[in-house]
């Protein structure tokens, strides 16, 4: 977990790391156990209704953002979860400031919001593709810090995950998409253009993490070449975050001891 971006270097992090877990079988077993715990914690989180959790997922194409939503969060009751995927902005969104489309999807009391991409695209993809002048995206780091600080001050817990894959693993996954007709819908030619600018993306992510990692809104760098390890790190972080809260079932509004259902 990165709580202070000073000196952070993405190149120091190994995308193939496994946190000392011997292998996939052990990793998946722990994920299954954590998924059960997350389910119970979420029920209390929802009933308690005093907290909100925002989970941001970022990473290169094929890094496993949607796989993580499907598997690491598999135990959650959909009634308390809100998933938002941020795609290329519409004209209507581009006609406003970059946070306009994001803010309306933050979680309400008792909710967990999962962002598949986020406002970080506005300092990463936007920067690499040169969509706005450098002064514009550079100023956004401060706006993002202020925005996230405001969310935290108002009662939202913020956890940001960078799904870190290697360039080789991305090649394997893109080839798999090309070879399997059932995966063709996920493939876009523009993914290859982004892949050509791999180093620029890594640099842009590194700067974004350096500029916006804080104790209140930390980044978790997730070694994601192994899918089970990606899910394990996310599950451990979310379960730990929820366990630190003093979650309680609210008191009934009145004394129910004499109430009988006939
Ligand atoms: P996917 O996640 O595969 O559906 O792709 C979504 C695409 O939208 C990615 O290429 C993102 O980089 C792009 N995208 C998302 N948000 C923005 C943004 N604010 N500005 C430019 N491109 C974006
Ligand atoms: Mg894609």
The DSSP string of 201-220 is: HHHHHHHHHHHH--SSS-EE
In a domain, 238, yes or no: yes
In a domain, 261, yes or no: no
How many domains in the chain? 1
Residue 42 pLDDT > 90: yes
In a domain, 28, yes or no: yes
In a domain, 254, yes or no: no
Task: Kindly list the protein residues that place their beta carbon closer than 5 angstroms to ligand 2, a single-atom ion.
Answer: 61
Structure tokens given for 209:
């993490």
**Which CATH number fits the domain that encloses residue 80?**
3.40.50.300
Question: Distance from the CA of 61 to the center of ligand 1, in angstroms?
Answer: 10
Q: Can you give the residue range of the structural domain that contains 74?
A: 10-243
Residue 220 pLDDT > 90: yes
Identify the residue whose C-alpha is closest to ligand 1 atom 17. Answer: 88
pTM of this prediction exceeds 0.85: yes
Output the pLDDT for position 189: 92
In a domain, 251, yes or no: no
Residue 171 pLDDT > 90: yes
What are the residues whose beta carbons fall under 8 Å from the beta carbon of 229, sequence distance 6 or more? 17, 18, 19, 21, 27, 222, 223
What are the residues whose beta carbons fall under 8 Å from the beta carbon of 172, sequence distance 6 or more? none
Which mutation among 58, 69, 86 tests ligand 1's pocket best, with the greatest number of atoms within 8 A of CB?
86
In a domain, 262, yes or no: no
How far, in whole angstroms, is CA 2 from its chain's centroid?
Answer: 14
Output the pLDDT for position 253: 87
The three-state secondary structure class of 96 is coil
- pLDDT, tens digit, 9 for 90 and up, residues 130-166: 999 999 999 999 999 999 999 999 999 999 999 999 9
In a domain, 192, yes or no: yes
In a domain, 181, yes or no: yes
Structure tokens given for 84:
């938002």
């Amino acid at each position: 977990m990165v709580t202070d971006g000073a000196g952070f270097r993405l190149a120091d992090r190994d995308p193939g790391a496994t946190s000392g877990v011997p292998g996939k079988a052990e990793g998946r077993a722990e994920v299954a156990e954590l998924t059960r715990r997350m389910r119970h914690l979420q029920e209390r989180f929802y009933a308690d209704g005093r907290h909100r959790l925002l989970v941001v997922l970022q990473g290169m194409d094929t890094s496993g953002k949607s796989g993580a939503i499907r598997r690491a969060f598999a135990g959650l009751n959909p009634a308390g979860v809100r998933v938002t995927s941020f795609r290329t902005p519409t004209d209507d969104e581009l006609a406003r400031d970059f946070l306009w489309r994001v803010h309306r999807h933050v979680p309400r009391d008792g909710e967990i919001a999962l962002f598949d991409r986020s406002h970080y695209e506005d300092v990463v993809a936007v920067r690499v593709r040169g969509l706005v002048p450098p002064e514009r995206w550079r100023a956004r780091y401060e706006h993002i810090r202020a925005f996230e600080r405001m969310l935290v001050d108002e009662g939202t817990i913020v956890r940001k995950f960078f799904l870190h894959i290697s360039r080789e693993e991305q090649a394997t996954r893109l080839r798999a998409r090309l070879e399997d007709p059932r995966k063709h819908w996920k493939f876009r030619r523009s993914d290859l253009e982004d892949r050509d600018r791999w180093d620029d993306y890594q640099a842009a992510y590194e700067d974004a993490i350096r500029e916006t990692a804080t104790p209140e809104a930390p980044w978790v760098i997730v070694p994601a070449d192994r899918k089970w390890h990606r899910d394990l790190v996310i599950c451990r972080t979310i379960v730990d975050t929820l366990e630190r809260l003093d979650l309680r079932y609210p008191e009934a509004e009145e004394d129910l001891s004499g109430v009988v259902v006939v």
